[in-house]
Structure 1
Amino acid sequence: MEKLFSKLDLVDYATGFKHFLAREKPLFMEGDANLHYKLIHELLTRDRLKPLPEVPSLDVALMHLSKMGILRLSEIFAFVQIINYMQYLKHMLNDQSLGEWMERILIPAEVAQICAYFDEKGELKSSVDEQFASIAQSLKMVKEEMNSTLRRLISTEKIALYLADKQIHYINNQEALLVRGGFNHVLKGNVIGRSSSGFFYVVPEALAKLASRESELIDRKEELVYKYAKQISSVFTKQLKFLGFVNKEFDRFDAYYARVAYAREKDMEFVLPSKTNAIKLENFAHPALANPKPITIDFSKQVLMITGVNAGGKTMLLKSILTAAILSKYLLPMRIDAKHSSIGSFKEVFAILDDPQNVKNDISTFAGRMSEFSKLFGKKVALIGVDEIELGTDADEAANLFKVMIEKLIDKEMKIVITTHHKRLASLLATHPEVELLAAIYDEKSERPTYGFLKGTIGRSYAFETALRYGIPQSLVAEARVLYGEDKEKLNELIQKNIDLELEMRKTSEELDTRLHEVEKLKESLRDEKERVREEFDHAYSKMSKEFNQAIGEAKKAIKSSDTKESHRLLNKANQLHQETRKVIPDQKAEPLHVNDKIKYGSSKGVIKSIKKEEATIECDGITLRVPLSKLKRSGNQPKVHKSGVVISKETPSGSMILDLHGLRADEAVEKLDKFLSDALMSGFDEVLVYHGIGTGKLAYAVRTFLSSYPSLVSYGDAPINMGGYGATLIKL
């Protein structure tokens, strides 16, 4: 792993990331990558948590516990720090998936009790045992007495003559004075060392008893600490499985926290590996570059062959593709537009970038390359990067050899990125359906590479121009051009013209796409505006119609108690007003819909997948639905149609609410009544009046018989006395 990171210029990146880890661990995280990705994103959305405590690896301590061993106090405190932090997380993370994870970590009561024994410095608290407080107080008094004795000696006039300085020195955990030779005449003590200047470090005899007392107190404290370490280790042995579990979960959260903290500091994003092997990078920047030009590339086929100008970014593009795959594999953050990027999943990543020539191993450049390639034929589903594939041998022989080898690797589902100046190798592989060509672009006006790339073409190397740029005399380059030949130079010019034409076409295409997108947005906006206006109109019309009908109803109720002739006159006038103000909205002819048409269903947009009779199967927002065709509207491009507006017409009222059948035969009366009722229904009348008289009763009988079988009637019966009584029939529609 370190070797691969070194080849891809990721050493500084890895070093920076490790600074955020509480303790060193592998970059790879065991378990479900989708779950890791989900929890990392949850952690990104939360407020910052306090950093994890730095603790050592506890694998050896766990092994000692499994063998009934006794842990050192520092090892016990490391476990205490881990458990305290997990308790903090349980308090802070109490919802979503992180909360569910923390709920599964149940801390035993006896372990939680042990955590309360320690202070922040990792020392056992005085409250645990009174002897700790007593020993601490005694040690403090001894220290003060020792300092007092030393200061008294320093201030003694006889000794002051032999002192090199007036400081108290700590040598081998003992307090000593620094004195000159001959000190034995005025000071008794033990020499414990010499300085670089030839002076002596002396522990005065007056401190011997105090030092002995101090040593006794320290020994008592160590015995007491050992006693509690033994008790705690006994409890930890019983809880060995829990300690192993919480130690592992601490490492897991440490891996999440470090990734999130690093991503926040560097403004990076995460990309979850997809199940395919396609690589689509949007605005990716290699971590090693200080001022990178973000790259955007769609590498969907199995082989990407990069050609073009020297020092034009070919190798860095190769490293960027491999770097993105590695960082995605280990769920490490990167500078990328994650929303529009996709990176495949690969079991292994191989980088064949360096010159493998090694005198000690007696191997040449080409032999070393072949040795690395030979290992690939036993692999599957791997990503391979090869820089300067033609390195170290004859160009024509290598072109044919590498063509065969690359085709074999394609059969093994390998994904390969190659940089080369071999035009022959590029031309041999150009027609393969799984090979993509990419050319590094050179700006002839500025005589500089643009660090951009053009898809689908073979690029020039621009060796002469690069040589000039890096200091080779122009006369030598001119001589080389002559030797190179006019025909080959013309071929290079044709290649460059092809590249320039491709760039111009791409620029024109992008401009047209932008304009087309703007037009489509405008058309969509106009369609939405039209629908909005129509909805407002329908709403207003419905409201006015309702109010009008209510007014008519009230008028009818008032008229029923009035004079007959006057009521007829007013009702006919109301009907006339209704006819004059009625708005006729012609039905819009439904546009024919076909499979793959873009449609709008309610507020959702989708595509028609199939049509069966009057129903269609559509896909909206990733959901498949079956809906009536009448509920769908076209969205997007549609055939031009003549605008159909809202027509408001004024019609001459042809209907009446009263029919007089006096003097007609029964069959004539029925025919006229049938037409009258049809007109009344079309006019929207709620109530009509038919005069037939009393006479012999035959005409009244014919009317009642016809009405008994007529559809769309609410009721019918004799009219009120003031409207004709038995000689008329009041019909409610």
Structure 2
Amino acid sequence: MSINKTSKLDLLINQLDLTEHIEQFKSFFSRQSSLYIEGDQELHYRYIKALDNVEFKAPPKVADFYDIKGHLKKRGVLNFGQMFEIVKVVRYFRYFKNRELEGIIGEWMSKFEVHEKFQTIEKYFTSEGKFEENLDETLFGLSARIKEHKNNMSSSMKRMMSSSKLAGYLVDTQIHYINDEECLLVRGGFNHVLKGAVIGRSSGGFFYVSPDSILKSKEQIRYIEQEREAIFYTYAKEFSATLSEIQPFIAYIDKEFTKFDNYQARVLFARSKNLQLVKSKNDSKIILNSFTHPALHKPKPVDVDFSKNILMITGVNAGGKTMLLKSILSAAFMAKYIIPMSLNENKSHIGSFKAVLSIIDDPQNVKNDISTFAGRMQEFSKIFEYKSALVGIDEIELGTDSDEAAALFKVILDDLIKRGQKVVVTTHHKRLAALMADRDDVELMAAIYDEEQRVPTYEFMQGIIGKSYAFETASRYGISNAIVNEAKSVYGDNSEKLSLLIERGSQLERELKQKHKKIDDRLEELRLKELDLREQKEILIKEIDDKKSELKKSYALAIDEAKTAARAGDTKAIHRAMSKANEKLPKEIKETIPNNYVFKIGDFIKYRNNKGSIVSIKDKKEALIEVGGMRLRVKTKDLKPTKNIYVKPQTNVKVNVDKKSGLKCDLHGMRAEEAEETLDKFLSDALLNGWDEVIVYHGIGTGKLSYAVKNFLKAHPKVKKFEDAPQHFGGFGAKIVTL
């Protein structure tokens, strides 16, 4: 990014009051970088959101590789500090790769393969960046000698301080450091008992003396250090030559780390302040929900729908119009650069713009001999150079006659819209607002004033032109009531009436907004209750299904016991097993019959699962009913009234028990429907009596009855198989059925 572009960007950041926010964001970078990420923004955003789902430690601070790559390109020698910058990047990428993450982050990290030649260099650096001298025998020996000399120096100084000969000359028993030399503070005449060099004098006239033994040891250490430096330089030349051979690898990790650094800085900054990561969409619509400008302390969240070409903000002085304009431009700017911000990301929508431009400050400058209006015209002339830009203009009519400016700026705004610009305007003058208000591409918005408290609310209402409340603002800031009242008189009745109409419109809109909020709160409350009820219903349905499944299993076991008893011919055991099975079934919820309902002879009723009619009634508590050809005496409380029913006459079914051939069912002469009903009852009785095999006679005839019987047996859930009977049992005219 060029210096000119950088200065323009810094100016915009300053105008939008984003300087502190951006500086805090930049502090999360591992290395200095521009705000804009080069390349496909959609792809960058995918990586940022994927990284946001991963817990990771921040990368170390890393220097830029520009000088490092320049030295290697010229076959220069890098120092160990420069080499360690490369090592830090490689080790951080290895840390991420070893975590074996899934998704696009894992795929990205799997591409990093450390060059074999670099691994031989990396092992010589500790985690703090120090050279591993233990890997070189000579260096290890030299370090041991230096350590030995230092120990000797320390021991020598201690012996001198405890010497009885020197005790009379010592001013104190401390080791002093003068010009990086270890010294003793002694009185005059010390040369009789101490040989050394005077390093300095104290304010009290005493001498700082470095003993000869210490000076000799330090000289020895300097010689050893020179040997070590020579060895270090040999390693540096060797390592630099190796790094020159793998320049493509270094360039690759440098580029990828810069990209990763941009991602991690955004993720960690957003986490630190509970901000949202939002990217601009491919349109020009701006919808902000619960947006808060980072420069404000305890701000009121901003909600604004800026889907049209022009947003015109009017209303009370010091009511937040300028900050609303800055908020809209700031949101667009931060979305363009994917800088974390505070808003409801699910309900917000921020379009994409090639440039974000602002005309906010008063351009008047005495040195340049330029007026406010002339300066504004200069700034407007620059805007026409852009296309598809978002433009914010604060106090559009600043510096000249409002009526003339209204006509001029109407035409200017029209031209800007034709060029694809999107414009936010604040103004106190209603002339321009009135000229633009009836257009479909203009959105009006007004700052709201609290009449009771006589203060701005810092809230906004869309769709209206707001009053400036100049007189009220003047009173609030100390102008006397007498001056304000006289100003109102000069202002005139007609103008006051217009202001009252505007004020009344604002009040009605505010009341409507409050009602809408109550309705929205109520709807949200009902929605949450509905979700809760659905959840409870799902839980109950699951409990019921589990209980049904449990009961069915228990009932099936009891039925099997009944079948076993039936095969054994034990009637009592059958009844006990059936009763036990029925007890396992869930009880039916009986419908309550009104207390005043009176049953009469002939009424059609429902008794359990059967329908019939009342034959006679005794004491209104008992009734003789006819159900399915049988007569039963039951209690009237167990009956339910029902509509008129058709009771089919009972068909005589020939069922014979034959020890040799088993049960038989004769269907000769019946219609298909009648035969199916008879056969269904016959099979139920057979199952109840525990028979596993029965024979059904249907005859040959036209084949219709035979066809109906086959289809019925195929569909019956308890029929295992069936086949034509042997010739001596009827052949094709009968079926042997296995249950």
Normalised by the size of structure 1, how large is the TM-score? 0.73
1:364, distance to aligned residue in structure 2 (A)? 2.2
Is the aligned partner of 1:4 residue 2:6? no
Output one character per residue of 1:679-729: Cα deviation in whole Å (capped at 9) or x when no partner: 5557884779xxxxxxxxxxxxx9954445886342899x999xxx99xx8
**Matches of 1:258 and 1:27 in 2, distance apart?**
11
**Matches of 1:533 and 1:253 in 2, distance apart?**
50
Map of 1:497-576 to 2, 5 A cutoff?
Answer: 497-512=504-519
2:284/2:353 contact within 8 Å kept: yes
Output one character per residue of 1:88-115: Cα deviation in whole Å (capped at 9) or x when no partner: 1111253221111100111112212321
Is the aligned partner of 1:248 residue 2:273? no
2:282/2:351 contact within 8 Å kept: yes
1:205, distance to aligned residue in structure 2 (A)? 5.3
Q: Mark the CA change 1:207 to 1:418 in structure 2 (over 3 Å): closer, same or farther.
A: same
User: C-alpha root-mean-square deviation of aligned residues, in Å?
Assistant: 4.6
**Matches of 2:76 and 2:541 in 1, distance apart?**
84
Q: Mark the CA change 1:438 to 1:91 in structure 2 (over 3 Å): closer, same or farther.
A: same
Picking from 71, 89, 106, the partner of 2:78 is: 71
1:424, distance to aligned residue in structure 2 (A)? 0.7
Map of 1:432-511 to 2, 5 A cutoff?
Answer: 432-511=439-518
Q: Mark the CA change 1:439 to 1:125 in structure 2 (over 3 Å): closer, same or farther.
A: same
**Matches of 2:333 and 2:610 in 1, distance apart?**
69
1:284/1:337 contact within 8 Å kept: yes
Which shows bigger deviation, 69-78 or 330-339?
330-339
- What is the aligned partner in structure 2 of residue 677 from structure 1? 672
Code of the residue aligned with 1:677 in structure 2: it is: A
Is the aligned partner of 1:115 residue 2:109? no
**Matches of 2:678 and 2:337 in 1, distance apart?**
76
1:349/1:384 contact within 8 Å kept: yes
- What is the aligned partner in structure 1 of residue 622 from structure 2? none
2:311/2:444 contact within 8 Å kept: yes
Output one character per residue of 1:575-601: Cα deviation in whole Å (capped at 9) or x when no partner: xxxx986689xxxxxxxxxxxxxxxxx
Code of the residue aligned with 1:714 in structure 2: it is: K
Q: Mark the CA change 1:200 to 1:67 in structure 2 (over 3 Å): closer, same or farther.
A: farther
Q: Mark the CA change 1:528 to 1:391 in structure 2 (over 3 Å): closer, same or farther.
A: same
2:52/2:267 contact within 8 Å kept: yes
**Matches of 2:520 and 2:161 in 1, distance apart?**
90
Picking from 367, 373, 378, the partner of 1:371 is: 378
**Matches of 1:383 and 1:197 in 2, distance apart?**
74
- What is the aligned partner in structure 2 of residue 41 from structure 1? 49
SS in 1 for 2:59: coil
- What is the aligned partner in structure 1 of residue 392 from structure 2? 385
Picking from 13, 29, 48, the partner of 2:37 is: 29
1:150, distance to aligned residue in structure 2 (A)? 5.3
**Matches of 2:74 and 2:296 in 1, distance apart?**
51
Map of 1:301-316 to 2, 5 A cutoff?
Answer: 301-316=308-323
- What is the aligned partner in structure 2 of residue 210 from structure 1? 217
Q: Mark the CA change 1:184 to 1:483 in structure 2 (over 3 Å): closer, same or farther.
A: farther
The alignment-based identity, stated in percent, is 40
Q: What 5-or-longer segments of structure 1 have no aligned partner? A: 562-578, 585-645, 661-671, 689-701
- What is the aligned partner in structure 2 of residue 168 from structure 1? 176
Code of the residue aligned with 1:226 in structure 2: it is: Y
- What is the aligned partner in structure 2 of residue 290 from structure 1? 297
Picking from 707, 712, 721, the partner of 2:708 is: 712
Output one character per residue of 1:416-451: Cα deviation in whole Å (capped at 9) or x when no partner: 111111211111111221110000000010011111
2:313/2:425 contact within 8 Å kept: yes
Q: Mark the CA change 1:69 to 1:480 in structure 2 (over 3 Å): closer, same or farther.
A: same
- What is the aligned partner in structure 2 of residue 88 from structure 1? 95
1:333, distance to aligned residue in structure 2 (A)? 1.3
SS in 1 for 2:423: strand
Code of the residue aligned with 2:51 in structure 1: it is: L
**Matches of 1:521 and 1:254 in 2, distance apart?**
42
Q: Mark the CA change 1:419 to 1:683 in structure 2 (over 3 Å): closer, same or farther.
A: farther
Q: Mark the CA change 1:165 to 1:649 in structure 2 (over 3 Å): closer, same or farther.
A: farther
1:271/1:341 contact within 8 Å kept: no
**Matches of 1:228 and 1:489 in 2, distance apart?**
87
Q: Mark the CA change 1:183 to 1:305 in structure 2 (over 3 Å): closer, same or farther.
A: farther
Is the aligned partner of 1:257 residue 2:264? yes
- What is the aligned partner in structure 2 of residue 54 from structure 1? 61
- What is the aligned partner in structure 1 of residue 21 from structure 2? 13
**Matches of 1:197 and 1:471 in 2, distance apart?**
67
Normalised by the size of structure 2, how large is the TM-score? 0.73
**Matches of 2:188 and 2:260 in 1, distance apart?**
61
**Matches of 1:484 and 1:224 in 2, distance apart?**
90
1:686/1:732 contact within 8 Å kept: no
Q: Mark the CA change 1:189 to 1:461 in structure 2 (over 3 Å): closer, same or farther.
A: farther
1:22, distance to aligned residue in structure 2 (A)? 1.7
- What is the aligned partner in structure 2 of residue 398 from structure 1? 405
Q: What 5-or-longer segments of structure 2 have no aligned partner? A: 1-8, 570-605, 612-639, 655-666, 684-697, 714-721
**Matches of 1:412 and 1:683 in 2, distance apart?**
87
SS in 1 for 2:313: strand
- What is the aligned partner in structure 2 of residue 421 from structure 1? 428
1:534, distance to aligned residue in structure 2 (A)? 12
**Matches of 2:527 and 2:422 in 1, distance apart?**
38
2:725/2:735 contact within 8 Å kept: no
- What is the aligned partner in structure 2 of residue 594 from structure 1? none
**Matches of 1:467 and 1:141 in 2, distance apart?**
82
Q: Mark the CA change 1:504 to 1:132 in structure 2 (over 3 Å): closer, same or farther.
A: same
Q: Mark the CA change 1:153 to 1:491 in structure 2 (over 3 Å): closer, same or farther.
A: farther
1:168, distance to aligned residue in structure 2 (A)? 2.0
Code of the residue aligned with 1:247 in structure 2: it is: D
Q: Name the count of aligned residue pairs.
A: 620
**Matches of 1:175 and 1:458 in 2, distance apart?**
81
Picking from 338, 352, 365, the partner of 1:345 is: 352
**Matches of 1:198 and 1:367 in 2, distance apart?**
74
Is the aligned partner of 1:654 residue 2:641? no
Is the aligned partner of 1:129 residue 2:136? yes
1:458/1:495 contact within 8 Å kept: yes
**Matches of 2:148 and 2:373 in 1, distance apart?**
77
Code of the residue aligned with 1:389 in structure 2: it is: I
